[in-house]
Amino acid sequence: MPDETLFADARALTAEITALRRAIHAEPELGLHTPRTRDKVRDALADLPLEWSEGPSTTGLVATLKGGAGEGRCVLLRGDMDALPMPEETGLDFASTVPGTMHACGHDAHTAMLAGAVRLLCERRDSLKGEVRFMFQPGEEGHHGARHMLNDGLLGGTAGRPLPDAAFALHVMPNAPHGLVAGRAGPLMAAADPFEITVRGRGGHASMPHFALDPVPVAAEIVLALQSAVTRQFDAHDPVVCTIARIDAGTTHNVIPDTASLRGTLRSLSPRHRAKLHDTVRRAASGIAEAHGMTAEAAITPGFPVTICDARAVELGAATTRALFGEPAWRTLDRPIMGAEDFSYVLEQVPGAMFFLGVAPEGADYQACEGIHSTRMMVDETALPRGAALLAGLGERFLADGFA
């Protein structure tokens, strides 16, 4: 079990965790290169007995803590660092100073909580047997940062430095009850694959469509066909989502365009349905276009894989949560959510789990709170020490007992 002082010690770090979160929030960075955020993390933890590693592909960091009680297991704890390309409308004193960029997915909180966990575990170094690797990752928002860090060898995977034995991460949820920790074994989040369909016809005057091959109604027919396919060709107990988020065609009101394009995302929870959904999109696009004497190509870009949590890791998370915060603090999710997460790349190679942490204000109507990716998304910072304690508790308990 995590030691009984862990949560109290985490609460004692509230000011430090909050200050780091606010500093990162005020200067958000996008993509794979987040040098200011990296430097803030290193400065905040500069006094600790850590070994730091960086790779060539990103500004990602891995800080390694070697336990003072000898060799043993290795556990990875991860926090992501990048922001989103969107404006902020929170009105906070520490709101983004970078126009068009905001920490609207809580990665500032994830980084600050992980930094808190680093300090908590460093304080317990003498009693730790094994090694903790703290993964500070950029590029989660569509940039495959976790995959880059894996490919760079930062997480291990070499002859002299194998991959960790377990991996854990937290994600804040601003519209979930304050302090609640939730997770589930198996699929937790979906695979997400962006796609674009281009319908090629022949342009002409809007008054004479019979002399043209109008791609616009064909594109509309493809949209409807894909929505029908989702409900009629896929088992509802293994759900998929096909969202057409953008339609582009033409330049003015009286010209039939040569082409029309559709852009969207395919989401799935199993490799079987992921492959079937890709095939369905390609067949629907080409078949419908051909029926109208046109052509269509579907370009599908493989995105994040399904986030699959190891049952043993989830049980460890539940037990650690209950030990730290009491029985009501844990909830087992009855179904996955269809968002996507690039920690899935880590979980493809290392057994582990991701958990959600509710950060709505205590006692608030959490369902009325703004969700992630909102310009008005807020985090109740009093919940952040819980996240730091949970990450540290997971690391401490896994080093001591594994998945037992």
pLDDT in tens, 234-293: 999 999 999 999 999 999 999 999 999 999 999 999 999 999 999 999 999 999 999 999
Average pLDDT, the chain: 97
Is residue 3 pLDDT above 80, yes or no?
no
| CATH of region 191-300 | 3.30.70.360
Say yes or no: domain 6-188+306-401 is CATH 3.40.630.10.
yes
Q: Give yes or no on whether 6-188+306-401 and 191-300 have one common fold.
A: no
In angstroms, the Cα distances linking 341 to 161, 190, 346, 350, 366 are 26, 8, 10, 15, 23
User: With helix as H, strand as E and coil as C, how does 75-88 read?
Assistant: EEEEEECCCECCCC
As a whole number of angstroms, the distance between CA 279 and CA 300 comes to 10
Neighbours of 168 (CB within 10 A): 30
Which pLDDT does position 1 carry in this prediction? 58
Domain boundaries, the chain: 6-188+306-401, 191-300
Instruction: Convert the pLDDT of each residue in 162-175 to its tens digit.
Output: 999 999 999 999 99
Interior/surface letters 315-351, b for 16+ CB within 10 angstroms, e for the rest: ebbbbbbebbbeeebbbeeeebbbbbbbbbbbbeebb
Question: pTM score, two decimals?
Answer: 0.93
Which pLDDT does position 196 carry in this prediction? 99
